[in-house]
Homo-oligomer: A and B are copies of this chain.
Amino acid sequence: MMSEKMPFKLLLSHEEAVKIISENIQPIDRVEWVSLDEAFKRVLVEDLIAKHFVPPFDRSAMDGYAVKAEDTFGASSFNPKALVLREVVYAGTVPHETLERGDCTQIATGCSLPEGADAVVMVEFTEKDGENVKVLKPVYPGANISRKGEDIEEGKLVLSQGSYLTSAKVGVLAALGRERVKVYEKPQIVVVPTGSEVCAVGTKLGEGQVYDINSHTLAAIASENGALVTRFKIVPDTHDALEGAINALQDKDMIVVAGGSSVGERDLLNGIIEQLGTVLFHGVQVKPGKPTLFGVVKEKPVFGMPGYPTSCLSNAHLFLIPALRKLARLPPRREEGVKARLAERIVSSSGRKQFLTVQVRNGVAYPVFRHSGAITSMADADGYIVLPTNVDVIKKGDEVTVFLLKE
C-alpha cells in the first residue's frame, strides 16, 4: 500500500513529542504483593512507616567490654583500670546482669548492651587477667555504642509511596523484617511486528523477505524498562489484519507496533488509530526516525515505530523508554554524557534534530552511523551525539558530548 499524498506534513519537535507522550501516559495503578526476594527494582505502593526501631536496642558497635565510662577515666597502659568481669555476651545471647561501678561485661559486636553500661572499650585496649579486665584507654559515654533507633526510628516514614526499590532500599525493608511488600504491577506491553515482507527468525527467508528485527530489539528495551513483554505474531500490511491485532490486544497496557518500513504502512496504522481512537502525533523532526506515531485507543497508548531497525531502536530510546518508565512508575532515565573529540567532520542537512551513533575510544568519538536501515549502526555504537536542527557541520577535532547507550 502506498499513499501518494505528501506524508508527515505536521512534524513535531523532539521535545514536543516527549511532552505529548508524557501527558498521555497514565502510570499503572494495579498492585500486587511480592516476596522480598522479588522486590528489587520494583516500585513501592504505600508509604512505609517503621513498626519498630532499628537497631531494636542499644548495642555494642565493637567487640570488647561494656563499661560505665567514668570507670575508665584516667586509664592508660601505665595505669590500667581493673574492672570485674560480670558476664560474657556472645552473638545471639543477651545480658542478664546490671552493671554497677567497677563492673564490666564482655560483649560481641551487635549484642544488646547490659543495663547500667554507657560505653564499650574495644578489646584491643584491654587485657584479661583472670576475673579482672584491665582497661588501657579511657572511653567517653556513648563510645562504641549503636543507639536503639539510630538507623530507623519507630513510627517514622522510611520509604515513601512510589519509591524505586534499589538494593539498599530492599535492605531497609529487610531491616524492618518485611517478608512481603506491595508493589505496582509491571505493565504488560505487546510488541507487534508488521510487514508483509517480514519473516520470523528461525525460518528460511523467501524471495524479497527480511527477518523481523524490531520486535526483538523493542522487547529487550521494554523488558529493561520495567515491562512484562510479549511479542505478537508478524502481522501483514492489510487494514483488517492490523486492525484485528489492535482490537485483540486491548487487554494490554501499551501496544507497540514495530514497522514495516514504508510510509504506506504507517498511513495504514494512522488510519486505524484515527478510526479506533486518537492519533496524537505522526512524524517527529528527528533523524533517524521521522515516522514515529503515537496515539491512544480506549485509553491505552499505542506506538507506531519506524520500520528501519536503527530508526526504530533510536526512536525507542527517545520516545518509548520515557513512556515505558512513566507507565511503570520508574524514575526517568539519567542521561550520561561524556566529552570526546570528533574523529572526522560530519555534515547534516536534514533540517531535523539528528542523533548520530559513535564509538568512543580514548576520548575520540568515531561515527559508526551507516544508514537508518543498518542495525549495525546501533550495535557498534557506545552512544550518540546530537546535532541540533540548526547545526549543519561539526568539524574534526571539535569537542562533542556523547550520550552513552546504557544497558
Contact = CB atoms under 8 A, between A and B. Distances in A.
Interface of A: 1-4, 6-7, 36-37, 40-41, 52, 54-57, 61, 63, 90-94, 106, 108-112, 123-124, 126, 128, 146, 150-152, 158-159, 166-180, 195-197, 199, 201-203, 205, 207-214, 216-217, 219-221, 223-224, 231, 236-237, 260-265, 307, 309, 313, 334, 336, 370-371, 373-376, 378-379, 381, 404-405, 407
Given A91-B195, A263-B63, A375-B54, A220 B109 contact: no
A55 B171 contact: no
A224 B207 CA distance: 43
B175 A94 contact: no
Contacts of A94: 207-208
A-B complex: 5 closest residue pairs judged by Cβ atoms? A92-B196, A179-B202, A109-B262, A168-B378, A167-B220
B371 A217 contact: no
Contact of A224 (B40, B111, B261, B262): B40
A271 B128 CA distance: 23
B205 A123 contact: no
A261 B111 CA distance: 10
B170 A210 contact: no
Question: Considering residues A40, A57, A90, A216, which has the most beta carbons from chain B within 10 angstroms of its beta carbon?
Answer: A216
Contacts of A90: 1-2, 196, 237
A209 B56 CA distance: 8
B370 A92 contact: no
Interface centre among A40, A179, A260 (most CB of B within 10 A): A40
Given A108-B262, A219-B37, A313 B123 contact: no
A173 to B, nearest CB: 8
15 contacts: A2-B123, A6-B124, A40-B407, A56-B210, A91-B262, A151-B370, A151-B376, A166-B379, A167-B217, A168-B379, A171-B379, A175-B211, A175-B375, A176-B211, A178-B202
Contact of A313 (B92, B168, B265, B381): B168
Contact of A174 (B57, B152, B211, B221): B211
Nearest to A151: B374
Given A40-B220, A111-B197, A208-B57, A63 B262 contact: yes
Given A213-B175, A216-B174, A208 B92 contact: yes
Contacts of A6: 124
Nearest to A95: B208
B151 A177 contact: no
B112 A208 contact: yes
Contacts of A210: 54-56, 110, 175
Nearest to A237: B91
Contacts of A151: 370, 373-376
| Centre residue among A37, A224, A262, A334 by max chain B CB count within 10 A | A262
Contacts of A109: 261-264, 307
Contact of A4 (B3, B128, B211): B128
